[in-house]
Amino acid sequence: MGFIERFFGVLINPSITFKEINENPKLLEAFGAILIVGLCAGVGGALNLSLIAQEIAHPLISPIVLIVSAPLGYFLTWVVISCILYASAKVFGGTGAFEASLILLSFAFVPAIFLAPLGVVAYAIGAFGAFIYTLGSFVISIWGMILAIFAIKEHHKLSTPRAVMAVFIPVLVIAIIIFVLAFIAIIYLEKFLTYPISF
Amino acid sequence: MKEKIIILIIALVVLISVVVGILILFQAPAIGISGKVALIRVEGTITSSKGIFGGTSSEEIVKQIKQAREDFLIKAILIRINSPGGSAAASQEIYMEIMKTRNSGKPVVVSMGDAATSGGYYIASAANRIVAAPGTLTGSIGVIWVHPVLSRFFEEWGIQFEIVKSGPYKDIGAVWRNFTEEEWQLAKEAINDTYDQFVEDVAKGRNISVEKIKQIADGRILTGRQAKELGLVDALGNIEDATKLAADLAGIEKPVVVELKKRTLFEALFGTMGEGISRGIVKGIIQLYLQKQIAL
C-alpha cells in the first residue's frame, strides 16, 4: 500500500488501513500527511476568515501568513496530541511505542483535508457560510477522533471500549481546559476594552 | 477498483478546492492582498484625552494613524472629520502624525462632514488631498482664548480668594479677576504665536504661501465650495468620492475600507449576531485580539 492509498484509505476503510500502517509505519509519510492536511486546513480557514474579517485589517490575517502557519500549527497539534494520547493509552494498558503512535495518529488528521472544499463552499454561500464552516469543522473533528480511536486500538492492542476511553477522556479534559482559558481570556481582554475609545 | 475511484474523486475535489481557494484568497477583498483603505474618524471637540462628553482624543487618533501607517496591507488612510475644532496642541499632535504618514509615502485623504473648522481644518491641512461637500463648514483659521471673569458673581456670594504666588503672572487667566494690561499683552503674544504656528502649518500642508493663507486666516467660516475656490480644499464630493480618491492615490482598483476603532465587548461579540452566531462570535474574538494591540 503506497502513501496515497494509506492517506485516503483511512477515510474509506480505516480498520484495514491502520492495520497496514501499523505493520510498516513510516515517519516521512506522517510528515507528508500533516503537511497536506495543514495546507488544506489553512486554505479552508483563510476562506472562512475572509467571510468574517470584513472590518479587520492586520498583517496577521494575510492569506500567505494563514496558509503557511496552518501546517506549522498542525505539526505542533499533532505532536502534542500524540504525546497526550500515548500517555492515555499507556494508562489504559496500551503496549505500543511512541514513534509508531505518532505515525498512526498523523493519519487521524486526514479528514481535515475536507476543510478546503468546505471553505470554498462556505465562501460561495456567503455570510451564513461561516456557520456552515464551523458546523463542518465540528463534524470533521469528531471524524478525526474516531480515526484516533482506530489508531490507538490498532497500535496499542486495546479493546474498543478502552481505546474510546483513552481518546475521549483526554479530549474532554482538553476541551474543558480550553473553555476555561477562553473564558478567562475574554474577561481579561474586557479590562482593556473598558477604556472608552468607541466613537 | 471502486475504492480507487472514490480516492480519485476525493483527491480531485480536495486539489481543486485548494487551487480555487488560493485563487479566491489572493483576490478576496477582506483578507486578500488587494489594498485596504483605513477609515479613521475625528468627531466632536479635539482634545488630548477623551472627555466624558465624547469628542476625539488625539492620543487615540495618533495611535490609529500610526497603526495604519505601519500596516503593510493598508495602502491609504481616509480621515473623516466632523469637528468644530478643539485644543491647539491636540490638533497639532494629529497634524504631525498625518505629516509623518504623508512623508512615508502612504496617501492620506480627508473627507469633511458637516464641519471641519479651526482645529478640524488644522488636521485636514496635513493630508495629501481634502474632499468636502459644497455646504461643509470649514476654515475658521484662527486662535481664541476665552477668559470668563466671575469676580461679580464671587462678590455677590461673598467668596474671597487669598492668593500666594511665586510670580506676578502665575494666576494669569484666573476667573476671579480681569487681565491686567500686561497680562493681556502676554496672552495676546501667546495667541499670536499659536496663530503663526497654525498659519505656517496650513501653508506647509496645502503648499500655499503664508501670506496668502493670512489673507483668509481671520477666523472666517467658509463653505466647502468657497474653500475650494481659495485652494483650501481639493475637490467637492462625499465620503465615497474621498475613498475613491484615496484608492486612486494608492493605486488600488477595488479598495476595502477598514475602520480602525474599538468596540465594547458586547458590540464586538454580539453586534453582528444577525449575520450568524458563528460569524459574530469568531469575528468578536478576532476583533478583541486586534483591538488589544491598538489599546496597548
Is B102 in contact with B63 (CB distance < 8 Å)? no
| Residue A41 scores a pLDDT above 50 | yes
pLDDT for the residue B223: 95
pLDDT over threshold 50, residue A193: no
A110 CB near a chain B CB, below 8 Å? no
Q: What amino acid occupies position A24? A: N
The values of phi and psi at residue B105, to 5°, are 100, -5
Q: Does A188 touch chain B (CB under 8 A)?
A: no
CB contacts, 8 Å: A193 with chain B? 262-265, 268, 288, 291-292, 295
User: Which of B118, B125, B140, B228 is labelled catalytic?
Assistant: B118
The mean pLDDT value for A59-81 works out to 81
Residue B129 — φ and ψ, nearest 5°?
-140, 150
B165: Cβ contacts below 8 Å, ≥ 6 apart = B171
User: Does the pLDDT of residue B124 top 70, yes or no?
Assistant: yes
Of residues B30 and A188, more confidence is placed in A188
Q: Which of B49, B104, B165, B170 is labelled catalytic?
A: B170
Is the pLDDT score of A76 beyond 70?
A: yes
Residue A198's pLDDT is what?
A: 27
d(CA B217, CA B233): 15
3-state SS assignment for residue B54: strand
* Closest by Cα among B109, B208, B265, B222 to A192: B265
C-alpha cell at B213: 493663507
**Per the domain annotation, does A22 fall within a domain?**
yes
Distance CA B51, CA B115 (A): 20
Q: What is the pLDDT of residues B178-187, one digit of tens each?
A: 889 999 999 8
H-helix or E-strand spanning residue B38: strand B36-43
- All residues of chain B having their beta carbon less than 8 Å from the beta carbon of residue A58 are 71, 73, 290
**B48 catalytic residue (yes or no):** no
For B20, half-sphere exposure in the C-beta direction (CA atoms, 13 angstrom radius) is: 16
Weakest mean pLDDT among B112-121, B220-229, B246-255: B246-255
Distance CA(B8)–CA(B120), nearest Å, equals: 64
Closest of B3, B77, B13 to residue B245, by C-alpha? B77
Q: Regarding beta strands B108-117 and B74-83, do their DSSP bridges make them parallel or antiparallel, or are they unpaired?
A: parallel
Element (H, E) at B112: strand B108-117
- What share of chain B has pLDDT > 70, as a percent? 83
- Cβ of A199 within 8 Å of Cβ of B43? The answer is yes
Q: Which residue has the higher pLDDT, B81 or A188?
A: B81
Q: Which domain holds residue A27?
A: 3-193
Query: A84 lies in a domain?
Result: yes
Q: Is residue A199 part of a domain?
A: no
> Hey, are the CB atoms on B265 and A59 less than 8 Å from each other?
no
Residue B31 near chain A (CB below 8 Å): yes
Q: How many domains does chain A contain in total?
A: 1
Q: Is B76 helix (H, G, I), strand (E, B) or coil?
A: strand
Q: In 3-state terms, what secondary structure has residue A125?
A: helix
By DSSP bridging, strand B129-132 and strand B235-236 are: parallel
- Chain position carrying cell 511665586: B166
Q: Is the pLDDT of residue B34 over 90?
A: no
pLDDT at position B292 over 50? no
CB A189 within 8 A of CB B258: no
Q: Which three cell numbers stand for residue A188?
A: 481579561
B292 is catalytic: no
Sign of CA dihedral A110, A112, A116, A121: positive
- The per-residue pLDDT for B95 is 97
According to DSSP, residue A157 is labeled T
The pLDDT assigned to B261 comes to 61
CA B236-B240-B242 angle, to 5 degrees, is: 55
Residue A170 domain flag: yes
Determine the length of chain B.
296
The pLDDT of residue A84? 92
Q: Which cell numbers hold the place of A101?
A: 503512535
The 3-state DSSP class for residue A20 equals helix
Q: Quick one: pLDDT at residue B25?
A: 74
Q: Is A148 in the B-facing interface, judged by CB distances under 8 Å? A: no
A 66-85 residues inside an 8 A Cβ radius of B = 66-67
ipTM above 0.90, yes or no: no
Whether the predicted pLDDT of B284 surpasses 90: no
Distance from CA of A53 to the nearest CA of B (A): 6
Instruction: Report the percentage of chain A scoring pLDDT > 90.
Output: 48
| Pairing assessment for the beta strands B74-83 and B36-43 based on DSSP bridges | parallel
All 3 cell numbers of residue B257?
475600507
Helix (H, G, I), strand (E, B) or coil at B137: strand
The answer as to whether A114 is a domain residue is: yes
Q: Which is more confidently placed, A187 or A115?
A: A115
**E strand or H helix that includes residue B56:** strand B56-57
CA distance B252 to B275: 28
**Which of chain A's residues have a Cβ under 8 Å away from the Cβ of B24?**
47, 50, 120, 123
- Burial class for B207, CB neighbours closer than 10 Å (0-12, 13-18, 19+): exposed
Indicate whether B97 pLDDT > 90.
Answer: yes
B136-176 residue pLDDT tens: 999 999 998 888 888 888 888 998 888 888 888 888 888 88
A132 lies in some domain: yes
Q: Is A143 exposed, middle or buried (0-12, 13-18, 19+ CB in 10 A)?
A: middle
**Is the per-residue pLDDT at B278 higher than 60?**
no
- pLDDT value at position A184? 80
Give the residue-averaged pLDDT of B73-96.
92
* pLDDT category of residue B27 using cuts at 50, 70 and 90: low
Alpha-helical segments (H) within chain B: 2-25, 58-70, 88-104, 119-124, 151-156, 181-206, 210-216, 224-230, 239-250, 265-270, 277-295
pLDDT of residue B197 exceeding 90: yes
Does residue A198 lie within any of the structural domains?
no
pLDDT beyond 70 at B107? yes
